[in-house]
Amino acid sequence: MDNILPSYLILGAILFCIGLYGALSKKNAVIVLLSIELMLNASNLNFVAFAKYGPNPALSGQIFSLFTITIAAAEAAVGVAILLALFRNKGTSDVVEMDHLKH
Amino acid sequence: MGGLSVMWDNLTAFFSHGPNIVFTVLAVVIISAAVLMINFDKIVHMVLAMALAFIGLGGLYILLAAEFVAIVQILIYGGAMTILMIFGIMMTRHKNQEEEAKRPVHNVLLLIGVVALFGILFYAIQGTAFVTGAPLDPGSDNTAAIGELIFNNHVIPFELVSVLLTVAFIGAIVMAKREEE
Amino acid sequence: MESTYAQFAWIVPLAPLVAFLLLLAVGRQVNRFSAHIGFAATLVSFIFALLVFVERLGEGSAYVWQDWDWLTIGGTAIGLGFEVNNLNALMLVIVSGVSMLVNLYSAGYMKGDPRYSVFFGYVALFTFSMLGLVLSSNLLELYIFWELVGVCSFLLIGFWYFKPEAKAAAKKAFIVTRIGDVGLLIAILILYWQVPYHDLGFVNLANAVTEGAIEPGVLTLVAILIFVGAVGKSGQFPLHTWLPDAMEGPTPISALIHAATMVAAGVYLVARTFFIFESSAAAMTVVAVVGAFTALFAATIGVAQNDIKRVLAYSTVSQLGYMMMALGVGAQVAAMFHLTTHAFFKALLFLAAGSVIHAVGKQDVNELGGLGKKMKVTAWTFAIGALALSGLFPLSGFWSKDAILTEALHENVLYFIVGLIAAFFTAFYMARLFFLIFAGKPRSSHDGHEPHESPAVMTVPLVILAVLAVVAGFIFTPFNSWFGDWLSGQPAGEHANWTVIILSNLTALLGIGLGWLMYGKRSIDSEAVAAKFGWLHKLVQNKYYIDEIYDAVIVKPVKALGDFLHLVDRFVVDGVVKLFAGSALLIGRLGTRMQNGQLQGYGLVSLLGIVLLMVLLAGRRFFHVG
């Protein structure tokens, strides 16, 4: 009972790291986007956990996480739109093929 | 011998509290869903695993007395996001392009980096003495409470977010539009 | 003592230096006048040298001027300057005189050569170096000019550098004399270390030796090392191999450098440092033995050579051996006397040979013959030179050779016998040379290029030198020891030793007679004699295979070592350098692989960087505590 907060935080850290791994190692762009969403979720979990068990419990943590979810959704939408445009130009959704940063 | 018995005592104390068991179950579900997402071969399976993770997280939010956030999470993430991704997959698929090119050096280094990062975070969390303030008063209705807070204290971010959403979906439409011939 | 001319003695080497610089700068423009410039400069030198010499004839101590500090290291200073004493003054006259005549002669000999002005520039530089060497007041300055003379010799031997033999000969000359020079350098270093005040001036050295400031063992070592330097420069055995090959250079050079002056520098060096040698009996014996051996050794080789200049070259080596032998038995006066007369008649012989080569274009004795009728002046002057060299009374060579043989007899009868045998061979091969070139019938056609007498600019020096070869001997005879008194500062009265006089003349006549019989009258067939002594003849004709021995024992192993070290350089040294370069390249390539435009790669690097940063920052806490 005393201090379940660290458990929530560690859970958040685990999810964050798994999301990071997925974002940096997957070839399909959609999966990369999905992994980034996982990372955002992990930070949301942190907010809500601190909202309940932190030094200053308040509802503003939850409100902030609402905003985060909103932003994440908008970003995912734009991301998929970009992906569609790229797919039309390159014919592939493989991130390894997107090497325009090289030149 | 003393350390082990202390650990056993802690564990039994932990699991004697109901919500802790639920937390553990949900945590296992979420983590395994995330790991499965990484390891599945077919993309659609990956997306479904992710959806499971999102829903599990929603359950966790309920445990944290954040009902509204939980519902929003399930609606947006588990619903809209998943569908969005599936649409994305559907529109960017060649026939059978599921082989992963092997990048062993990259993957190994990445694994090491990620584990190291987790190690640092773990160390930081373990080393901090968290102070718990007064317990949260969730109020009788979480949604109403949140609504009051938003429209009283955080109106401006609310309006800004709505503008941002508008901009975002207009941008997305423009980007995804088929070019005029 | 007031010296009016000696203080201007520095003008003597300066005039040719100015000529050299002038020819270096504007040589091409004044091409035709290069000879005039060279001759004028050496004429100026000669006049001043004569003035200095005449002044020296009076009584007086040597004039030394060493006030210019060239190098100052801490408390010690090495100075440069010049000294004029009797020995110097004599050498000044010889060197400038022969140089002047050679300049005159070369105007005719080198006419039409595309590098005409360069030639006279080099000759002027050489004259400057040799005169500077002679005037040096300290041993280090002498060494500087010694090396300079070696360089000029190299330049002039290889003057026709498009001929591979000339290039090889020039290199050989420089390298072989360098071996001797190392000995001289070590001697200088030892002396510098041992001598009080670290002053290498000859005056100081002489004082140090007479006062016994240097240990006898060290003195012997120094003397032998100085002699090594002289062996290199004067072509004594075993460093004689460069002199015959040096005949690849133009003949006036052979006359100036390799007969009269540079090779005499070795003898001069020993004479100048004679006080060191006198204090060590062992060193004197070494000098005498080497000299005697060389005299006989070179004379035997000269008998079987077919190239005019090579015969004369071996003759030079042999005569230098005589001079060294004289120095070794303590006869400094006799050695310098022979040096003087030898300068005249050997230069004469070389210039005459050059006259023949210039007229006919051939050097092999077997292809010449019957030139006496067409080249009268050359033939007569050559004959006079040959007779002087053979040591026939009353020519100059007789008096000087006699002086040496007399002293040699006093010391050890073996030296005398060796000298006598060498004299026999000398007379023989000179007679052989004369009869093969000038007598009889032409042995080969001249391609419609009829030989005629050389122009006056070439024959006038011949005549002048011939006159000198005749009369120069009278300055030091048993009846008139003026030269000896003057040079050594003590009465050097020589008593006529009739044994020596009669034996030496007899030997010379025997040699000439045999030569006439074999090559003049042809009553003894030279071919038959050669066949009878087949192996001996072959041995001698191939110079005792010394060059081949050196090649196998020294040159090839050194070259093998050089090749091995070259491999080490290529693989080990270059390998290390390539290792560094290669590793830099490798790192570069690794870096390039990271810059592949892959976002995930960049992300990975960022992640690793952040982790590293956090570890380092957080870890500082631990390390500071510890």
* pLDDT tens profile C525-556: 767 777 777 778 788 788 788 888 888 888 88
Summary mean pLDDT of chain C: 85
Mean pLDDT of C332-359: 90
Q: Is the pLDDT of residue C267 over 80?
A: yes
pLDDT digits (tens, 9 = 90+) for C123-132: 999 999 999 9
Please give the Cα distance from C79 to C140 (Å, whole number).
Answer: 9
Q: What does the pLDDT profile of chain B (181 residues) look like in tens digits?
A: 678 888 888 888 888 888 889 999 999 999 999 999 999 988 899 999 999 999 999 999 999 989 999 999 999 999 999 999 999 999 887 665 556 667 888 999 999 999 999 999 999 998 888 887 777 776 778 888 899 989 999 999 999 999 999 999 999 999 888 776 5
Interface ipTM: 0.91
Mean pLDDT of C397-415: 87
Instruction: Please indicate if any CB of chain B lies within 8 Å of the CB of A99.
Output: no
Q: Is the pLDDT of residue A9 over 90?
A: yes
pLDDT value at residue C373: 78
Residue A45 or C305, more confident: A45
**Surface of A (48-87) touching B: CB under 8 A:** 48-49, 51-60, 62-63, 65-67, 69-71, 73-78, 80-85, 87
A-B contacts at Cβ under 8 angstroms: 214
Query: Do the domain assignments include residue A40?
Result: yes
Query: Do the domain assignments include residue A33?
Result: yes
Query: Do the domain assignments include residue A44?
Result: yes
With contact defined as 3+ CB pairs under 8 Å, the chains touching A are B, C
Instruction: Please indicate if any CB of chain C lies within 8 Å of the CB of A25.
Output: yes
pLDDT value at residue C365: 77
pLDDT digits (tens, 9 = 90+) for C382-393: 999 999 998 888
- Neighbouring residues of C572: CB distance < 8 A, sequence distance ≥ 6: none
Weakest mean pLDDT among C73-82, C104-113, C459-468, C573-582: C73-82
Query: Do the domain assignments include residue A11?
Result: no
pLDDT digits (tens, 9 = 90+) for A55-88: 888 888 999 999 999 999 999 999 999 999 988 8
Q: Is the pLDDT of residue A35 over 60?
A: yes
Please give the Cα distance from C321 to C288 (Å, whole number).
Answer: 9
Min Cα distance C594 → chain B (Å) is: 11
Helix (H, G, I), strand (E, B) or coil at C77: strand
Supply the Cα-derived Rg of chain B in whole angstroms.
22
Q: Is the pLDDT of residue C594 over 50?
A: yes
Query: Do the domain assignments include residue A103?
Result: no
Mean pLDDT of A92-96: 84
Min Cα distance A59 → chain C (Å) is: 32
Q: What residues in C contact B102, CB-CB < 8 Å?
A: none
Q: Is the pLDDT of residue C301 over 50?
A: yes
Query: Do the domain assignments include residue A14?
Result: no
Please give the Cα distance from C226 to C278 (Å, whole number).
Answer: 13
Q: Is the pLDDT of residue C623 over 90?
A: no
Q: What is the pTM of this model?
A: 0.70
- Closest partner CB to B88 (pick from A5, A54, A83): A83
Query: Do the domain assignments include residue A18?
Result: no
CB burial readout C4-32, b (16+ within 10 A) else e: ebbeebbbbbbbbbebbebbeeebeeebe
Query: Do the domain assignments include residue A97?
Result: no
Test the C interface: residue of B108, B118, B120 with most C CBs within 10 Å:
B120
Number of domains in chain A: 1
Q: Is B98 exposed, middle or buried (0-12, 13-18, 19+ CB in 10 A)?
A: exposed
- Neighbouring residues of C339: CB distance < 8 A, sequence distance ≥ 6: C94, C264, C267, C268, C323
Domain extent, residue A54, equals 27-91
